[in-house]
Amino acid sequence: MAPTRSSVLVSLGVLIAGVTKAASDVVQIEQTPNGFLSSPRGWNSYGIQTNPATNPEFQFDQAGVISQCDVLATTTALKDAGYVYCSLDSGWSVGDRGDDFGRIIYNDTIFDIPGLADHLHSQGLLLGVYVVPGAFHADEGKTILGTNVTIGSVCSGDNGLSRCNLDYSQPAVQQWFNSVVDQFATWGVDLIKLDYVTPGSPVNGATLPQDSSGEVIAYHKAIAQSNRQIRLDISWKLDRSQTYFEIWNANADSMRTDQDINNSGGTTFVAWEVLQRAIENYRQYIATVTQYGTTLTIYPDMDNLYVGNEAAITGVTDAQRQTIMTHWLGAGANLLLGSDLTKLDQFGLNLLTNPRALEVAEFTSRYPMLPRNPGTGENGPQQLQAWIAGPDAAGSAVVIIANYGPNQGQGSWETSKSGIQTVNVSLTDLGIAGTYGVVDVWANANFTVDDLGFSVELDEGQSVLYQLNP
C-alpha cells in the first residue's frame, strides 16, 4: 500500500544560529495575494544592462528589449513552457520627476511603454516594469490626482534615489499609489518589481529609511483596485523576521532572498562562489519562515536565472548551470532569465524547457524544497546536501542531492572536500519511507529506491534531480 501523507512525514528541525526549533513537516505555497498559483517565467533586462560585455551590441531601449523578448515569442518551446514575462529593470522611466500629478512616467526618448506592451501582448507575452520607493523630490509641489493634497505635504526626507519618503498613514498617499498603478494598468503593465524595500535592502549608496514596508502594502492595495491582475515582486534580500515576513507574505507575490548574483561589469554573468551564496540564502530563508506556522502565499525570488548561455558567457560550467536550474526549480523560485536570449545554446534551452523539469516546477509551485542533511536529516549548511519537496497527499516528492564543492567564501559550510564525492542519503534522512519509482529528470532514466535510499557520486558543483512516486 502506498504510504499516506501522515505516514511518511517526520518533524523538521530548523537550525537558526545554533538553535533547533520545530517547524512544519511539509511546506506548501497557496495562492498569492494578487491571485497567482506559480512564480513568473520569462526574462529580465538587468543582467545584460549591468554586464554589457556579454553582449556589446545590446542597447537598453525599445528595439533592444524587443530583440530579446521576441525570442520568447518565436521559440515555441520557451513560450509553451510559460516563459512569457518581459521585464524591464532600472532605466526605463524618467529618473528625477513624474507627470503633472507626480506619477511615474517612461523616458520617451528610449521607450514607448504602451506601444511595447501592445507588441508583447500581441505575441502572448507580458510586460514587467521596475520601480523604487517614494515620490520624486521635484514633484513635491504637485497635487496628487483626485485630491487637493500636495506630494510635499505627505512626503519628506531623502532616500538617496531622488525621492522623498511617503507617510503611508495619510489617505492621500494611497491615492498616489492608486494613480501610479492605474496608469500602469492603462499602459498594459503585468508585473511590478519594487526594489530597495526595507528592512532588508543593503544601503548600496542610498539613504534608505529603516522601514518602507508600507510601500509594499500600498502597492498591493493599488493593484487590487486597478481591475488588472498585476504581479508584485519585491526586492532585495528582505528582512525575514516574522513581523516583516507576514507583511511580505500578505501583500507580494515573490520576494528576493539574496542580493544581486550577477558579476556587475564583468565579462561573464555569474561566478560559482556567488551561486553558493544564493543557494545558502534560500536554505536560510526557508528554514526561517517555516518556523512561523504561517501559510505561505509568496514565492522565493533567488534573483535572475543565468543558465541560458554557454559556459564561456555564463561564467560557470555546464554541470553548474544544471545545478543552478535544479535549485531554482526545487525552490519554486522565479524563473526570470538574465541570460542573453539571442545567444541561447541547446543545453540551456533544454534546461529551461525539459518536460520533466517543467513537471517538477509545477510540483514545487505548491511544495517548495526543504533541506535534509545526508546522514542526519537535519537542515544546517553542508557541502554535500539533500533536499526534499513534498511529499504531497499521494506520497509523490521531488529530491535533490548536491555537491556544492569547497566553500569559496560566501557559503556557510566548513568542509572543503575536493573532487568527486559519494553522497549517501537514506529515505529516513529525507523523512519518508517505503519503495518509490524514481525518474532521474536530467538523465531521463528510471529506477526504484527503497529505504536504503540513494548513493550518488557527484563532482564539485554537480547535482541530481529526482521525481519520486510511491
On whether the CB atoms of residues 276 and 60 are closer than 8 A, the answer is: no
167 flagged as catalytic: no
Q: What cell does 1 get?
A: 500500500
Identify the active-site residue in 260, 301, 340, 429. Answer: 260
E-only strand ranges, 318-470: 335-337, 370-371, 384-389, 397-403, 421-425, 436-440, 445-449, 454-458, 463-469
On whether the CB atoms of residues 352 and 308 are closer than 8 A, the answer is: yes
Q: What cell does 3 get?
A: 504510504
Q: What cell does 414 get?
A: 566548513
Local structure of residue 137 (DSSP, 8 states): G
Q: What cell does 199 get?
A: 528592512
Q: What is the 3-state secondary structure (H, E, C) of 187-255?
A: HCEEEEEECCCCCCCCCCCCCCCCCCHHHHHHHHHHHHHCCCCCEEEECCCCCCCHHHHHHHHHHCCEE
Q: What cell does 236 get?
A: 532585495
Identify the active-site residue in 89, 182, 190, 195. Answer: 195
On whether the CB atoms of residues 86 and 125 are closer than 8 A, the answer is: yes
On whether the CB atoms of residues 330 and 360 are closer than 8 A, the answer is: yes
Nearest of 370, 300, 293, 302 to residue 338 by alpha carbon: 302
195 flagged as catalytic: yes
Rounded Cα–Cα distance for residues 38 and 41 (Å):
9
For the chain, the first-to-last Cα distance in angstroms comes to 9
Burial of 230 (0-12, 13-18, 19+ CB in 10 A): buried
Q: What cell does 93 get?
A: 522611466
Nearest of 9, 26, 10, 8 to residue 290 by alpha carbon: 26
Q: Which residue has the cell 545590446?
A: 58
Could you give the residue numbers annotated as active site?
Answer: 195, 260
